[in-house]
Amino acid sequence: MRKLPINTPKPSDTASGLSGTQAYHDSAWKHVSGKARYIDDLPEPEGLLHAAVGQSTHAHARVTAMDLDAVRNYPGVVEVMTVNDVPGHTDIGPVFPGDPVLAGDLVEHVGQPLFAVAATSHRAARQAARLAKVSYEPLPTALTAQEALEQKLFVRPDHTQLRGDPDKALAEAPHRLQGEMNVGGQEHFYLEGQACLVEPTEDAGVFVHTSSQHPSEVQKLVAEVLGLAIHEVQVEVRRMGGGFGGKETQAAPLACISALLARKTGRPVKYRMARADDMVQTGKRHDFYNTYDIGFDEQGVLRGADIMVAGRCGFSPDLSDAIVDRAMFHSDNGYSLGEARVVGHRCKTHTVSNTAFRGFGGPQGMMIIERAMDDIARYLGEDPLDIRKRNLYGPGRDVTHYGQKIEQHLLPDMIEKLEVSSDYRKRRAEITHFNKTSQILKRGLSLTPVKFGISFTAQHLNQAGALVHVYTDGSIHLNHGGTEMGQGLFIKVAQVVASAFQVDLDRVKVSATRTDKVPNTSPTAASSGTDLNGMAALDACEKIKQRLVDFAAEAHGVSAEDIAFENNTVRVGDQRIDWADFVQQAYMARVSLSSNGFYSTPKIHYDRATGQGRPFLYFANGVACSEVVVDTLTGEYKVLRTDILHDAGQSLNPAVDIGQIEGGFVQGMGWLTTEELVYNKEGRLLSNGPATYKIPAVSDAPADFRVELLPASPNPESTVFRSKAVGEPPLMLAMSVWSAMRDAIASVADYRYSPPLDTPATPERVLGAITTTRRWAAEQTATTEKPVSQEA
């Protein structure tokens, strides 16, 4: 395993903890000591009530009767509410309507909230909620994307991106293949489940403590269900115990229900979901059904492609429009598709509404083209790495199927570097020899790239605000619109502020995200937290600095060019003034030491009517080489080694970034291998707890795990200190593990057959793929026909 990096020594004339150095996470000691406070750790206010909801037992049905007398009479119950008791809006859809805060006469997934209960204890609320007598009239259900496609059930219209004439290119291509695959979903499984605490205020409003990635949306929706102006609601987020997208929109229903109960009872209300309820009632990563039709030449270079991605969205739109869009944007990964058509469907199913999850549809879109690269290689009898390299974007092949020009071609060099440092060619030869001599164990190797677009695909979300105060002792207070979910956003933005003033990091304090300090914020999502909030904070700092420079120039009779901020001092002409003393002087001279900052991402645009534009400011890149061993008798497997080279631009904090890469990769492994969401034919989730849903453990991480940041790679775009986003892209590096498993299985047929392997690639699916591959090999041996290496 990787050793923890040692802090880089810094020159004596440089303040400590600035951007580019490996500062500790600001809450790390609190996490390990247990002193970090989450929602359920907050002191309980006097008169606190606990919330729970009654849940639908049907996937799709009309509610014909609901008797709540037993619920109301249960000991400890103070209030019971139905949708008829909501004073304001009843639909809390985050973008498009379709999400009732409480169901009316129609339910569309198992677990949908029917009514809300407030009781004097968590236990009493949950037990009372189970006592309702509800009658249903069952209705037809669709539970999978394929069923929705057949029945033409969609939560939003389909969308097409088109470049050139793919039909002509496919017809004229020397070779052509078709394929399909199912890409499984994923449970967020954050350590802290969904939770909130709402307190009524003296002026008819509410104060909301929430575990949410989007406090401004919580504020807006709570105000709407209560029938209040937004300024009557304040929302605070200090930290989350994990989010990964699951708390972008789906924390809001808890806050809305708690707020309704709090206003009705006049008492504070806490709503903490039990793990089983959380898994049943909240959305997952979308599972996808994808197909491809590709044409290519003798070298395996794509001439044309027709790709379809269909996401299982659940019963409502939630964020599915943008998620399927991103799957479409990333269906090329790092490869030029040639003449291409990409179609995306938003499939309506009678399951919980799926939502954002690290990668936001991008990983699901990438999977189909990575499958195609492997399939082309088996068809032509070549190493899949060579096929991937030939299809990479480069000069002359640098425009995507949605019209954005790729301006920075890092992947070819990154692949070459990792190919050498990982000893890919030598290991490939060794593995091929091993597989010829070993009858039971088979090893696989794969090197795959990632090109991930950075920006919200909804243009208006690409904005952020920040608030910076400099106090008279030289200490600095920072507040911004981003939320901390363990990813290290707060420490990175604090480092930006420390760097702006060239003072020690311990002078900067970041406070909880609050809607009454920085308003109208975007969610902390799309890997944009540091890009947006870091630039907003820097803008605030620059405004204060300009005032300080103007003051110093006038007070000391020097030009602005003779003033510099250096190592906890301010150099004014020939003299150095201690930072705190200088700030005190500015205060005495009535200089404003506080400022807000704002940033909006430039250059981005996208026209949905034409399916063309520049939706991303830049791309983050990474490459991973993974080796696995598979037991062909059981389908069990183990990841032996992974080498990663990732582009973080000019990293703001290498230690945090490497941690994000390692964590994202392992989470991606879980998505592709062990994490399986299982529903029965009635639409009930069976994998609803840690006993039935397997997230990766420490023992699942590669025994030999090597992670490096691409050196000397500043972002050519004007991001904060030329850094690049790191949150989501590393998850997709785990595709190398899935591809390596296919490589190992293909060796059963001497690499002449490209085995189908849906995800998650559980041992059962791996064993099934091995059986299919052996059957194909036996059929080829039984006949004298020339082998065809791709299934129909």
Question: From edge to edge, which strands make up the β-sheet containing 569-572?
Answer: 563-566, 569-572, 575-578
**pLDDT value at position 132?**
98
The alpha carbon of 707 is separated from its chain's Cα centroid by a whole number of angstroms, namely: 20
Q: Which of 664, 660, 245, 242 is nearest to 485 (CA)?
A: 242
What token pair was written down for 547?
Answer: 């005032």
**pLDDT value at position 15?**
85
686 Cβ contact list (under 8 Å, min separation 6): 678, 679, 680, 692
Whether the predicted model's global pTM rises above the 0.75 cut: yes
- CA 363, CA 602: separation in Å to the nearest integer? 25
Task: Evaluate whether 466 touches 537 at the Cβ level (below 8 Å).
Answer: yes
What token pair was written down for 512?
Answer: 């909880």
**pLDDT value at position 784?**
56
Q: What is the CA radius of gyration of the chain?
A: 28
- 466-507 per-position pLDDT tens digit: 999 999 999 999 999 999 999 999 999 999 999 999 999 999
Which residues are designated catalytic? 728
At 706 the three-state DSSP class reads: strand
- CA 432, CA 444: separation in Å to the nearest integer? 9
Task: Compute how many other C-beta atoms are within 10 angstroms of the C-beta atom of residue 425.
Answer: 12
Helices (H), 589-679: 654-673
- CA 193, CA 616: separation in Å to the nearest integer? 32
- CA 21, CA 9: separation in Å to the nearest integer? 9
Q: Which of 300, 622, 625 is nearest to 444 (CA)?
A: 625
The residue to which tokens 């269906």 are assigned: 331
784 Cβ contact list (under 8 Å, min separation 6): none
- CA 614, CA 221: separation in Å to the nearest integer? 31
Phi, psi (5° rounding) for residue 95? -125, -55
Residues of the chain with pLDDT under 70: 1-13, 784-792
- 3-state SS track over 40-75: HHCCCCCCCEEEEEEECCCCCEEEEEEECHHHHCCC
Distance from the first to the final alpha carbon of the chain: 42
Task: Compute how many other C-beta atoms are within 10 angstroms of the C-beta atom of residue 389.
Answer: 20
- CA 285, CA 280: separation in Å to the nearest integer? 13
Q: Which long-range contacts (CB under 8 A, 24 or more apart) does 385-388 make?
A: 385/415, 385/419, 385/424, 385/446, 385/447, 386/300, 387/300, 388/334, 388/335, 388/415, 388/447, 388/448, 388/449
